[in-house]
């Protein structure tokens, strides 16, 4: 088994407040999964905590672009430093968020090193940008678009390295079938998308294995996996900010993750969006931890 290191990235900078005067609770994800002994169960090394800035949207209003942008830019560089260190050391790096904007830190780190792809296992593609329908604001729903250079320059071109990802190096797995507008845009860009229905009509393990194998193409150094807990059906994972119906069941998610995480080309995993505030008995958190641990187990 490869050396695994776990890094906490407890940032909620990329989500909207769940209610006035409150902050998103997904910053507690890392602590909740550690309570499930995820580090020990993965036989992982300790990578510490990359402490995020305070969540403070100030006087931000709709139309101002991405809120918390300066804090996000600073945190992305800080997290990238930690991830880069571990990836260069050959350690498979598990980042516990946090909202989906923490993926920018991992993506920037990989861009510093070489050319890597992203496999996003997510209910939605997080591809909202100024050219798409609706306004931007929450980076947690925009991080893949930002990584491809779509969005404001203070987030898309950090260190002059943007775009951090090429369109052709992205794969989406587990997208809900009813996000038709998003799927049409991605199809026009030739970004592969495997929906929930596709997974059920085909063989989830084979589809995931094919995604991993695609990164053996010349010029690519590997890939990173982004896991958004909302890819699971709300019946088993209600503790997310935007629960979308008709999601994956745990066994289906495990079938997807295992070929990805056990691929020698995989260099890391980000786990995001699970909100312990919405899971008072910890059932959903235990399920998430169990799934991640099982996915790393060689069969």
Q: What percent of the chain has pLDDT over 90?
A: 83
Hey, what are 180's tokens? 């038709």
Mean pLDDT, residues 133-143 taken together: 79
Token pair for 243: 């629960």
Token pair, residue 101, equals 């904007």
Q: Rounded to whole angstroms, how far apart are CA atoms 91 and 76? A: 20
Q: Report the distance separating Cα 186 and Cα 173, nearest Å.
A: 12
Among 215, 235, 233, smallest CA distance to 224 is for 215
pLDDT at 131: 80
**Averaged pLDDT for residues 50-74:** 89
- Alpha helices (H) in the chain, listed in sequence order: 29-35, 38-41, 69-88, 103-113, 143-147, 153-156, 180-188, 196-201, 204-213, 250-261, 283-295
Rounded-to-integer distance, Cα 211 and Cα 192, Å: 9
Looking at residues 103-118, what average pLDDT do you find? 99
Task: Say if CB 74 and CB 13 are below 8 A apart.
Answer: no
Instruction: Average the pLDDT over 201-212 and give the result.
Output: 97
| Cβ contact 171:263 at 8 Å | no
Residue 133 — very low, low, confident or very high, per pLDDT cuts 50/70/90? low
In this prediction, residue 299 has a pLDDT band, given cuts at 50, 70 and 90, of: very low
pLDDT digits (tens, 9 = 90+) for 244-283: 999 999 999 999 999 999 999 999 999 999 999 999 999 9
Rounded Cα distance, 68 and 200, in Å: 38
Of 90, 10, 85, 6, the closest CA to residue 269 belongs to: 6
Q: What tens digit of pLDDT does each residue of 159-197 get?
A: 999 999 999 999 999 999 988 888 999 999 999 999 999
Q: What are phi and psi of 165, to 5 degrees?
A: -130, 145
Query: Per residue in 70-88, pLDDT tens?
Result: 999 999 999 999 999 999 9
Average pLDDT, the chain: 95
Tell me whether the omega of the peptide bond preceding residue 98 falls within 30 degrees of 0, making it cis. yes
pLDDT (mean) for 18-35: 95
Residues 6+ apart with CB under 8 A from 100: 14, 122, 126, 139, 140, 141, 143, 226, 228, 272, 273
Asked whether 248 and 231 are in contact (CB, 8 A), the reply is: yes
Q: What is the pLDDT of residue 130?
A: 85
Q: What is the pLDDT of residue 179?
A: 86
Contacts (Cβ under 8 Å, ≥6 apart) of 155: 66, 69, 72, 73, 76, 104, 139, 146
Q: Are 151 and 67 in contact (CB under 8 A)?
A: no
The pLDDT of residue 222: 99
Q: Is residue 211 predicted with pLDDT exceeding 90?
A: yes
End-to-end CA gap in the chain: 12
């Amino acid at each position: 088994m490869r050396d695994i290191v776990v890094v906490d990235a407890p940032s909620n900078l990329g989500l909207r407040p769940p209610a006035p005067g409150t902050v998103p609770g997904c910053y507690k994800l890392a602590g909740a999964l550690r309570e499930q002994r995820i580090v020990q169960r993965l036989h992982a090394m300790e990578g510490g905590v990359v402490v995020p800035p305070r969540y403070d949207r100030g006087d931000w209003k709709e139309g101002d672009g991405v809120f918390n942008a300066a804090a996000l830019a600073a945190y992305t560089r800080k997290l990238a430093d930690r991830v880069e260190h571990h990836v260069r050391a050959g350690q498979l790096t598990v980042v516990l968020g946090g909202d989906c904007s923490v993926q920018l830190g991992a993506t920037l780190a990989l861009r510093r090193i070489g050319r890597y792809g992203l496999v996003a296992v997510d209910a939605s593609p997080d591809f909202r940008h100024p050219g798409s329908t609706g306004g931007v604001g929450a980076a947690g729903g925009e991080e893949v678009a930002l990584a491809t250079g779509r969005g404001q320059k203070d987030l898309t071109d950090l260190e002059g390295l943007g775009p951090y990802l090429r369109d052709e190096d992205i794969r989406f797995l587990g997208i809900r079938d009813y996000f038709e507008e998003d799927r049409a845009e991605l199809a026009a860009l030739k970004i592969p998308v495997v929906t929930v229905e596709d997974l059920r009509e085909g063989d989830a393990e084979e589809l995931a294995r094919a995604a991993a194998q695609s990164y053996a193409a010349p010029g690519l150094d590997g890939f990173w996996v982004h896991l958004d807990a909302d890819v699971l059906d709300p019946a088993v994972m209600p503790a997310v900010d935007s629960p979308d119906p008709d999601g994956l069941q745990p066994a289906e998610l495990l079938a997807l993750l295992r070929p990805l995480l056990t691929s020698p080309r995989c260099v890391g995993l980000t786990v995001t969006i699970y909100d312990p505030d919405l899971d008072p008995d910890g059932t959903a958190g235990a399920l998430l931890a169990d799934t991640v641990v099982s996915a790393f187990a060689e069969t």
